[in-house]
Amino acid sequence: MRRAFDLRQIDVPALVAHGTDDQVVPYADSVPLSVELPKSGTLKSYEGLPHGMLSILPEILNPDLLAFVES
């Protein structure tokens, strides 16, 4: 399968935030993609959280996003 964008082209720090209970993009499908991120890529897993977690649970994700941006 050809991807529209090669994740290896990312040359800035990148954060992949993924809930383990995502029914839209299964966690098992996302983890291999995150491996393709550059050395500065970070995978942050959220146990039991669903797809769309950022919009429905900002109080859980916002501190991690802020820490990533400030690092």
CA gap 21, 67 in Å, rounded = 23
Confidence of residue 69 (pLDDT cuts 50, 70, 90): very high
pLDDT of residue 5: 65
Over residues 10-36, the pLDDT tens digits come to: 888 888 899 999 999 899 888 777 767
Write down the domain spans for the chain.
Answer: 7-70
pLDDT of residue 66: 96
Over residues 38-59, the pLDDT tens digits come to: 667 888 999 999 999 989 999 9
Residue 1 pLDDT exceeds 60: no
Instruction: Return contacts of 22-30, CB within 8 angstroms, 24+ apart.
Output: 22/49, 22/50, 22/51, 22/53, 23/50, 23/51, 24/51, 24/52, 25/51
